C-alpha cells in the first residue's frame, strides 16, 4: 500500500515517517515540506540517515496514493482537506480540525470559525480503545490530541463504570515534554530558558479539554498543564472522587474490564521496584499507554495515573494503530518496539 505524508518536517511527521519506513505493509511514496522541499529527509530527521534516501517534495507535487497522513498545523487541515481528499481514499489527520463533532464547540475553544463544518461528521475520533469498531469502517480519522489521549484513557474506565461522583470536580494535571510544542524555535523553547523548567503553560482552558468533554461526555474538566524537563512523554495525574469507598481490587476490576484485552494498555501498580506507577520515561518510542492508580484512604479520592509518549500513542503511534485497524492488519504491526531501560 502506498502512503504519503503531508507536512513531514515536523516532529509528528517525522515520527510517522519513521514508523512507516519500518512498517512491513506500506511503502512511503512522498513526504512534503514547503520549507525543505528538495532537501534530503536526513537533514531534518537525522535518525533516518541510512534508512531512507527520500527527499522532501512540495505539496503541489503530491501524487495519488492509498492513504494520506496529514500533519499540518491546526487550522490548515480544514483549508486543504477538499483538495487533498481527492488524492487518497483514506486520510488520517493529525490536526485538531476534525476531532470535534460540533463546529460551535470548535469555535468556542479555537477562537475562529470552522470552515469545513460539513466534513466534521465524516471523521472518526482516533483513539482505538474507544472507537475501534468505527475505525474499522472509517475512511477519515482524526488523531486525538496527545494530552487528551492520555487523560481520556485514564478516565474512561471509571466514567464508563459510573463510579465517579460527578458533583465533585475532576482535576487533571498533565506534565508535558518539550516536543509537544513542535519544532518551531521561540524564546520559550530556547534551551537555557526551557531546560529544567516547571512552567505552568496552561493552568486553565487548555484546548484539549474540548476533546475530553466530548469523548467522556463531561460538563467540564479542571485540567492544568505544566511543562517539565523531558523531550518526550506525558504523565497525567487525574483526581476523581468516588461515589463510595472502594478497594484496590474494585479499581483493578474496573480497569481490567475496560482494558484487559487491549494490546497497548498496560496496567501498572507494583509493590516492588521503583517503577510502581506509570512513567513516560520508559515509554519513549513505544505505543503504550500505561495506567495505574492510588486510593487516598482518608477520602474517596481516586488518583489515576496515565502515561504515554506524546509523539507515539499521543500522535504517530496512535495513527499507525488506527491505520492497522482500518486496513484489517494485525493491530500491533510496526509498533512492536518495547521501549528502553534505562534511558
303 touches a copy of itself (CB under 8 A): yes
Catalytic (active site) residue 146: yes
Closest CB 60 distance from a copy of itself, rounded Å: 23
Binding to a copy of itself by CB under 8 A, coded x per residue (else -) over 119-158, reads: ----------------------------------------
From the list 57-65, 117-125, 142-150, 299-307, the region that binds a copy of itself by CB under 8 A is 299-307
88 with 29: CB under 8 angstroms?
no
Q: Cell 499521543 maps to which residue?
A: 314
CB of 226 to a copy of itself, least distance (A): 7
* Residue 160 binding a copy of itself, by CB under 8 A: no
Residue 218 lies near a copy of itself (rule: CB under 8 A): no
Secondary structure of residue 299 in the 3-state scheme = coil
- List binders of a copy of itself among 172-201 (CB under 8 A): 173, 175, 177-179, 183-200
What the block records as the C-alpha cell of 72 is 499540518
Can you tell me which of 1, 59, 103, 168 binds a copy of itself, judged by CB under 8 A?
168
Cell output for 10 = 515536523
Give the whole-angstrom CA distance, residue 229 versus residue 177: 7
CB neighbours of residue 272 within 10 Å: 6
Cβ proximity to a copy of itself: between 89 and 343 the closer is 343
Q: Which three cell numbers stand for residue 66?
A: 492509498
Q: Which of 79, 220, 243, 245 binds a copy of itself (CB under 8 A)?
A: 220
- b/e for 20-49, b at 16 or more Cβ within 10 A? bbebeebebbbbbbeebbeeebbebbeebe
By CB under 8 A, the count of residues binding a copy of itself is: 97
User: Coil, strand or helix: which one is 47?
Assistant: helix
Q: Restricting to residues 87-116, which ones interact with a copy of itself according to CB under 8 A? A: none
Cis preceding-peptide flag for 88 (omega within 30 of 0)? no
What part of residues 307-336 is at the interface with a copy of itself (CB under 8 A)?
307, 336
Show contacts with a copy of itself in window 255-274 (CB under 8 A): 266, 268, 270, 272-274
| Residues 8-67 within binding reach of a copy of itself (CB under 8 A) | 11, 14-15, 18, 21-22, 39, 43-51
Output the smallest distance, CB 138 to a copy of itself, in A.
27
- Those residues whose C-beta lies under 8 Å from the C-beta of residue 284, and which sit 6 or more positions away, are 232, 233, 309, 339, 340, 343
Out of 54, 164, 305, 323, the only residue in the binding site for a copy of itself (CB under 8 A) is 305
- Smallest distance, a copy of itself to C-beta of residue 122, A: 29
Among 205, 243, 252, 260, binds a copy of itself (CB under 8 A): 205
Q: Which of 57, 65, 71, 146 is catalytic?
A: 146
Query: Are the beta carbons of 44 and 29 closer than 8 angstroms?
Result: no
Residue 114 near residue 103, CB atoms below 8 Å: yes
Residues 38/101, Cβ–Cβ less than 8 Å: no
Least Å from the CB of residue 7 to a copy of itself: 16
**Distance of closest approach, residue 182 Cβ to a copy of itself, in angstroms:** 9
Q: What is the bridge-based pairing of β-strands 222-227 and 199-202?
A: antiparallel
Amino acid at each position: 500500500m502506498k502512503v504519503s505524508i503531508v507536512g513531514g518536517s515536523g516532529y509528528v511527521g517525522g515520527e510517522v515517517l519513521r514508523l512507516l519506513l519500518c512498517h512491513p505493509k506500506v511503502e512511503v511514496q512522498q513526504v512534503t515540506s514547503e520549507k525543505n522541499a528538495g532537501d534530503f529527509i536526513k537533514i531534518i530527521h537525522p535518525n533516518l540517515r541510512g534508512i531512507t534516501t527520500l527527499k522532501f517534495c512540495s505539496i503541489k507535487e503530491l501524487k495519488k496514493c492509498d492513504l494520506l497522513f496529514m500533519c499540518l498545523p491546526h487550522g490548515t487541515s480544514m483549508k486543504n482537506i477538499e483538495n487533498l481528499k481527492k488524492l487518497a481514499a483514506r486520510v488520517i489527520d493529525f490536526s485538531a480540525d476534525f476531532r470535534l463533532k460540533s463546529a460551535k464547540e470548535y469555535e468556542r475553544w479555537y477562537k475562529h470559525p470552522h470552515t469545513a463544518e460539513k466534513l466534521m461528521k465524516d471523521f472518526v475520533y482516533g483513539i482505538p480503545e474507544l472507537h475501534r469498531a468505527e475505525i474499522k469502517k472509517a475512511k477519515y480519522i482524526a488523531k486525538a490530541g496527545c494530552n487528551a489521549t492520555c487523560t481520556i484513557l485514564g478516565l474512561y474506565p471509571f466514567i464508563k463504570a459510573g463510579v465517579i461522583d460527578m458533583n465533585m470536580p475532576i482535576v487533571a494535571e498533565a506534565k508535558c515534554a518539550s516536543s509537544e510544542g513542535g519544532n518551531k524555535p521561540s524564546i520559550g523553547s530556547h534551551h537555557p530558558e526551557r531546560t529544567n523548567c516547571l512552567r505552568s503553560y496552561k493552568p486553565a482552558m487548555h484546548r484539549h479539554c474540548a476533546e475530553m468533554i466530548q469523548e467522556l461526555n463531561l460538563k467540564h474538566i479542571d485540567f492544568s498543564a505544566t511543562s517539565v524537563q523531558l523531550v518526550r512523554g506525558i504523565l497525567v495525574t487525574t483526581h476523581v472522587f468516588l461515589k463510595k469507598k472502594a478497594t484496590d481490587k474494585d479499581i483493578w476490576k474496573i480497569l481490567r474490564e475496560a482494558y484487559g484485552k487491549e494490546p497497548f494498555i498496560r496496567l501498572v501498580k507494583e509493590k516492588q521496584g521503583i517503577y510502581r506507577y506509570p512513567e513516560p520515561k520508559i515509554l519513549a518510542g513505544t505505543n503504550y499507554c500505561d495506567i495505574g492508580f492510588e486510593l487516598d484512604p482518608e477520602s474517596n479520592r481516586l488518583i489515576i495515573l496515565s502515561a504515554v509518549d506524546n509523539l507515539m500513542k499521543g500522535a504517530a503511534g496512535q495513527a499507525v494503530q488506527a491505520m492497522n485497524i482500518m486496513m484489517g492488519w494485525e493491530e500491533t504491526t510496526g509498533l512492536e518496539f518495547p521501549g528502553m531501560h534505562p534511558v
